[in-house]
């Protein structure tokens, strides 16, 4: 059994397929548990700080688990950064294509002191809601496909048989 703290929070070194699988399961469990915690805390001050820390915790674990596996196949951490950039690009593209920008622009004329009337909110939600739901489905599929493909690629990739700049090969 690997040291879970080192596995989940340190991007240095190498890990084999078994420890990679354990790390991915750990990432999914922590991501899911963190989501449940944020929902349970709601709009409280603790919920605010939990939401604030969420991306940093998940990114650290993702860089650590994926990074060590990338090191095992002789690569740097840059493919993880590329994956994150691809997911952000997908979010921006889907928002632009499926009416997110127009939706926000329609509300831009209103302020906290001059809120939109309920009938305007209802009309805009009726106008943009179906497009945004369609965009959400496409975005969800795209993100899952990117993550699944990247995770599968690293899980199936053949490790360096020799010592590389990240350390000695993992013994079976």
Q: Are residues 106 and 69 in the same domain?
A: no
Residue 42 banded pLDDT, cuts 50, 70, 90 = confident
Is the pLDDT at 146 greater than 90, yes or no? yes
pTM of the model: 0.85
- Residue 172: the pLDDT is 59
Q: Are residues 152 and 81 in the same domain?
A: yes
Q: Are residues 56 and 84 in the same domain?
A: no
Among 76, 55, 56, 52, smallest CA distance to 66 is for: 76
Residue range of the domain that includes 109: 75-156
Q: Are residues 103 and 137 in the same domain?
A: yes
Q: Are residues 99 and 117 in the same domain?
A: yes
11 contact partners, CB below 8 Å, separation of at least 6:
63, 64, 67, 68, 77
Is the pLDDT at 2 greater than 90, yes or no? no
Q: Are residues 20 and 64 in the same domain?
A: yes
Rounded distance, CA 87 to CA 89, Å? Answer: 5
- Average the pLDDT over 35-60 and give the result: 91
Is the pLDDT at 171 greater than 80, yes or no? no
Give tens-digit pLDDT for 69-128.
Answer: 999 999 999 999 999 999 999 999 999 999 888 888 888 889 989 999 999 999 999 999
23 contact partners, CB below 8 Å, separation of at least 6:
2, 7, 8, 15, 61, 64, 65, 68, 69
- Average the pLDDT over 52-65 and give the result: 94
Q: Are residues 39 and 94 in the same domain?
A: no
Average pLDDT of the chain to the nearest whole number: 93
Is the pLDDT at 170 greater than 90, yes or no? no
């Amino acid at each position: 059994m690997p040291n879970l703290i080192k596995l989940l929070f340190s991007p240095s070194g190498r890990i084999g397929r078994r420890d990679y699988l354990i790390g991915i399961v750990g990432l999914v469990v922590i991501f899911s548990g963190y989501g449940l915690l944020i929902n349970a805390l709601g709009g409280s001050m603790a919920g605010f700080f939990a939401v604030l820390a969420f991306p940093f915790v998940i990114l650290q674990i993702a860089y650590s688990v994926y990074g060590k596996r990338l090191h095992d196949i002789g690569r740097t951490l840059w493919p993880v950064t590329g994956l994150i950039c691809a997911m952000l690009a997908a979010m921006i593209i889907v928002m632009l294509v499926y009416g997110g920008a127009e939706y926000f622009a329609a509300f831009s004329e209103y302020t906290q002191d001059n809120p939109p009337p309920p009938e305007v909110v209802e009309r805009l939600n009726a106008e943009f809601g179906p497009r945004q739901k369609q965009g959400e489905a496409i975005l969800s599929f795209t993100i899952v496909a990117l993550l699944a493909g990247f995770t599968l690629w690293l899980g199936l990739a053949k490790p360096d048989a020799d010592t590389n700049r990240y350390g000695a090969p993992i013994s079976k």
